[in-house]
Structure 1
């Protein structure tokens, strides 16, 4: 498959983008390993559309897929490809969805406009950034002795209604208020959130968390930095300043088999 340039990784503020069609394939005609990337739709004939560039975030890194539309105009008529799921299949990014009307005829090379469901994108970006802020807050409390010094961030999910950060090590339930206070303090500082592309060596040296197997692309390892607090290797979308988070609420702390799971949500301030 042709390579897709992930425009959202450099500019997550893009709500629309004009590009062309690279390929259109019924999901049933894809190789089996690619078919398994997608969840079955309840209705409609699903297709996969690829384009040279995309502003749609592909599911991964604990962040859910973007949704939206790819609008196609031809012969004086308009057809809409409703994007339900987006997945990576290097070097391509696959947009899976259905056409309206269902019998639309399309051509490779046709000009189209991508439109992201912006409300969903903003929520996902707030949750993803909030997860990093929570991790950095806990890291700070660990350094100052409020929390155990041996805590190690090992996993995170930033899905609406199911967002959490997991740590190797035990966090006592009575530390929830301390974590909330620290998170509130960081958000009040309204720090900027910036994207960098660093070498693998620099990322391993400077990032707060570097999971095994992190590798850079052509431009290096994509890193998100929260003010001067710390940075994470990350392919997701984020807010530009912490005031955009609203309020980050620490919901619960669960401990099992040496792992502490801290759940959270974002609400309007």
Structure 2
């Protein structure tokens, strides 16, 4: 199977692109490149449309296929474009941008709780949650205040790549116990919040993020749940 070039890795603000259909399978359409993020790491895959000469189809979600392929799952009953066709891929930007705002907030939540490992997460357009290996979490009001202070500071975000060996030498950069960075490609993508010389947060991540924390808008921690002796679930929503 042919790998799909993930354009969102270098530019999370691309809303559409042209691509060529390289294969079809029972799960959907595989393209040579795409702006659609494939579901992974707790972040849902993008939805949107494929259009081509003489046709259009709704993509319900982009998901990972084999050997680096990204599969564009179509709405039930939709006719796929033919192999070899040039298509325009367009994402549901409103939904994606909310995922970006949520995902960056999750990284800020890790910054608010330094040294505490995340044990699970789920990103949604309307609400999200992050689980921590934490016996006694701070009050939700305290978490809300700390998050909004970091958001209002307008910290820039950025990415860079490191060798897998560099991550092995700095295992503390991995803040999650449930999701580990993908291995085998020889390099790992880092997402940084704040300046390079003094980051607010720095951890491996393949997801999409806003360019500056102020783009998130206000958030609110709505609920804290106990999910075991040492597992606490923190729910939050976007307010603005």
Length-normalised TM-score, structure 2? 0.87
In the other structure, the counterpart of 1:31 is none
1:67 aligns with 2:43: no
Change (3 A) 1:136 1:50: same
Preserved contact between residue 57 and residue 79 of structure 2 (Cα < 8 Å): no
Cα shift at 1:188: 1.5
Cα shift at 1:108: 1.9
1:85 aligns with 2:51: no
1:49 aligns with 2:44: no
Q: Is the partner of 2:44 in helix, strand or coil?
A: coil
Task: Say which of 108, 119, 126 aligns to 1:154.
Answer: 119
In the other structure, the counterpart of 2:202 is 231
- Runs of 4+, deviation exceeding 4 Å: 210-213
**Matched ranges for 1:188-227 at <5 A:** 188-204=152-168, 205=170, 207=173, 209=175, 211=177, 213-216=180-183, 218=185, 220-227=187-194
1:258 aligns with 2:234: no
Alpha-carbon displacement from aligned partner over 1:21-72 (angstroms, at most 9, x marks no partner): 11133x2xxxxxxx6xxxxxxxxxxxx1111111101111111110001111
> What is the alpha-carbon distance in structure 2 between the residues aligned to residue 192 and residue 257 of structure 1?
36
Number of equivalenced pairs: 231
In the other structure, the counterpart of 1:22 is 22
Change (3 A) 1:168 1:15: same
Report which of the two structures shows the higher radius of gyration computed on alpha carbons: 1
Length-normalised TM-score, structure 1? 0.78
Give me the CA root mean square deviation: 2.2
> What is the alpha-carbon distance in structure 2 between the residues aligned to residue 247 and residue 194 of structure 1?
21
Cα shift at 1:91: 2.2
In the other structure, the counterpart of 2:3 is 3
Change (3 A) 1:177 1:108: same
Preserved contact between residue 174 and residue 180 of structure 2 (Cα < 8 Å): no
Cα shift at 1:219: 6.2
Q: Is the partner of 2:189 in helix, strand or coil?
A: strand
In the other structure, the counterpart of 2:216 is 245
> What is the alpha-carbon distance in structure 2 between the residues aligned to residue 137 and residue 88 of structure 1?
31
Cα shift at 1:218: 3.6
